[in-house]
Amino acid sequence: MPALVFMSTSSSTMRVLILIVAMGAVLELAPQAEAARAFFVFGDSLVDSGNNNYLVTTARADSPPYGIDFPTHRPTGRFSNGLNLPDIISEEIGSERVLPYLSPELTGQKLLIGANFASAGIGILNDTGIQFITVIRIFRQFQLFQQYQQRLTALVGAPQATKLVNGALYLMTLGGNDFVNNYFLAPISQRSSQYSVPEFSRYLITEFRKILLRLFELGARRVLVTGTGPLGCVPSELARSGNDECDPELQGAAAIFNPQLVQMLQELNTQLGSDVFVTANAFDMKEDFISDPQKFGFVTAKVACCGQGPYNGMGQCNPTSNLCPDRNLYAFWDAFHPTEKATRLIVKQIMTGSTKYMNPMNLSTIMALDSRT
Ligand SMILES: *[C@@H]1O[C@H](CO)[C@@H](O)[C@H](O)[C@H]1NC(C)=O
Ligand SMILES: *[C@@H]1O[C@H](CO)[C@@H](O)[C@H](O)[C@H]1NC(C)=O
């Protein structure tokens, strides 16, 4: 075809040039679209990026000083001073921040990035978080995920949609509220009069197993599942106990629940014949900086940056609360949730931690494995 290239009329030359430029653009875009892995997030306030902004609920983080260190310096609904766990994982896997499913901005090409269905206040059980009124419980999050898949299919067709859903990374953060906002919510709760802590934990594991199998049915093939953190050591619990010690009951509950979770996920993987579920040991990841905050550059892992009362652990974080000037010096942002700085330490372990932290393997290993298939 040299004749075409050497044609001398200027309009033909222009056409060839435009063609070359257009081809260049396609070539440049294609590898990017191929490389970005979609990311789907399910769970509670530790991973909610703003769904609760759209709900009638008291579990919300949409007023200052939430978001004070976010790129926009405004509240977004994240329970953090800045970025939260899904945001930093997105950074690490090289994709854009995932939008909350209820955000009106989540349309068109944005659907290809993934979606965040998490809602602050929810738990494994349907009766967890009823005090927060309309939160999106886990089975409802799955219904919305099905709705998402229909919208995705309309956009890219069924084969591409299935490929995106099967090839995506998933994050499931659930369980803490079943203890904090259910079993231990009152001195005598309905659940605590029904079950001992080990019985309740076994019940939670049974229900969590059903939830994770449902997620598998919906197409998930790589799911990071976070265990519960040191629930008894959050500023809220320190304020409640008042003796400067982590609450032993909540610590004991986490110590029962987490190993059962690891075991259940191992059994599920064996049953499915594949390492679909990967446990992130949030307890040990957080315990590291709670037991030795100075080692990680924090001045305290007991006092929250934002709040009031002892340890800044009482009530809400809001415009009238105490606010620390440097959030990088605090492990806890509010009475329950870590700062962005602490969350970065957690993600570091998720990416490269040993089997003490990530079972059966860390996310950098997963990314390397999955890029080969
Ligand atoms: C929770 O609700 C869903 C439906 O919304 C139901 O399928 C599930 O069985 C319920 N779980 C329990 C433990 O009752
Ligand atoms: C975790 O990541 C590091 C470095 O990326 C790697 O050397 C190590 O073997 C991984 N550990 C596991 C258990 O996957």
CB of residue 206 inside a 6 A radius of ligand 1? no
Whether the CB-CB separation of 357 and 229 falls below 8 Å is answered with no
Same domain, residue pair 90 and 23? no
Mean pLDDT of the chain: 92
Same domain, residue pair 2 and 121? no
Place of tokens 């070539």: 27
CA of 126 to the centre of ligand 1 (A): 6
Rounded distance between C-alpha atoms, residue 66 and residue 60, angstroms: 10
Residue spans of beta strands (DSSP E) within the chain: 39-43, 114-116, 169-173, 223-226, 277-280, 306-307, 322-323, 358-359
Rounded distance between C-alpha atoms, residue 330 and residue 334, angstroms: 10
Give per-residue pLDDT as tens, 289-299. Answer: 999 999 999 99
- In the predicted structure, residue 1 carries a pLDDT above the cut 80: no
Rounded distance between C-alpha atoms, residue 164 and residue 155, angstroms: 12
Same domain, residue pair 130 and 151? yes
Reported as a pLDDT band with limits 50, 70 and 90, residue 278 is very high
Same domain, residue pair 309 and 239? yes
Rounded distance between C-alpha atoms, residue 73 and residue 70, angstroms: 5
Residue-level pLDDT at 241: 87
Q: Which amino acid is at 373?
A: T
Rounded distance between C-alpha atoms, residue 152 and residue 158, angstroms: 8
Same domain, residue pair 16 and 151? no
CB of residue 147 inside a 6 A radius of ligand 1? no
Reported as a pLDDT band with limits 50, 70 and 90, residue 372 is confident
Same domain, residue pair 136 and 258? yes
CB of residue 69 inside a 6 A radius of ligand 1? no
Tell which one of 124, 126, 211 to mutate to probe ligand 1, the residue whose CB is within 8 A of the most ligand atoms: 126
The greatest distance separating any two alpha carbons of the chain, rounded to the nearest whole angstrom, comes to: 89
Q: Is 288 exposed, middle or buried (0-12, 13-18, 19+ CB in 10 A)?
A: middle
How many domains does the chain contain in total? 2
**Catalytic site residues?**
45, 334, 337
Same domain, residue pair 74 and 177? yes
CA of 49 to the centre of ligand 2 (A): 29
Residue-level pLDDT at 20: 42
Give per-residue pLDDT as tens, 330-356. Answer: 999 999 999 999 999 999 999 999 999
| Beta partners for residue 338, in sequence order | 332
Mean pLDDT of 228-252: 95
Same domain, residue pair 78 and 29? no
CA of 124 to the centre of ligand 1 (A): 10
Give per-residue pLDDT as tens, 98-154. Answer: 999 999 999 999 999 999 999 999 999 999 998 998 999 999 999 999 999 999 999
Same domain, residue pair 299 and 347? yes
Residue-level pLDDT at 373: 66
- What domain range is 347 assigned to? 38-371
User: Model-level pTM?
Assistant: 0.90
Same domain, residue pair 20 and 80? no
Residue-level pLDDT at 17: 41
Place of tokens 């219904």: 143
CA of 351 to the centre of ligand 2 (A): 8
Residue-level pLDDT at 28: 40
Which ligand 2 atom is nearest residue 352's CA?
Answer: 2
- In the predicted structure, residue 232 carries a pLDDT above the cut 90: yes
The CA-based angle 154-26-31, given to 5 degrees, is 80
Atom 5, ligand 1: residue with shortest CA distance: 139
Nearest ligand, CA of residue 206?
A: 1
Mean pLDDT of 46-68: 97
Residue-level pLDDT at 242: 84
CB of residue 367 inside a 6 A radius of ligand 2? no
Which SS3 state, helix, strand or coil, does residue 338 take?
strand
Tell which one of 93, 222, 284, 362 to mutate to probe ligand 2, the residue whose CB is within 8 A of the most ligand atoms: 362
CB of residue 365 inside a 6 A radius of ligand 2? yes
The CATH number of residue 144's host domain is: 3.40.50.1110
Tell which one of 92, 284, 348, 354 to mutate to probe ligand 2, the residue whose CB is within 8 A of the most ligand atoms: 354
- Pick the closest to residue 369 from 180, 167, 196, 185 (CA basis): 167
Which SS3 state, helix, strand or coil, does residue 41 take?
strand
Tokens of 348: 């570091």
Same domain, residue pair 205 and 57? yes
Mean pLDDT of 362-373: 92
Rounded distance between C-alpha atoms, residue 168 and residue 220, angstroms: 7
Place of tokens 């996310």: 363
Reported as a pLDDT band with limits 50, 70 and 90, residue 36 is confident
Which ligand 1 atom is nearest residue 207's CA?
Answer: 13
CA of 237 to the centre of ligand 1 (A): 30
Rounded distance between C-alpha atoms, residue 25 and residue 99, angstroms: 26
- In the predicted structure, residue 4 carries a pLDDT above the cut 70: no
Rounded-to-10 torsion of CA 55, 56, 59, 64: 80
CA of 210 to the centre of ligand 1 (A): 10
Same domain, residue pair 236 and 107? yes
Buried b (16+ CB within 10 A) or exposed e, 239-253: bbbeeeebbebbbeb
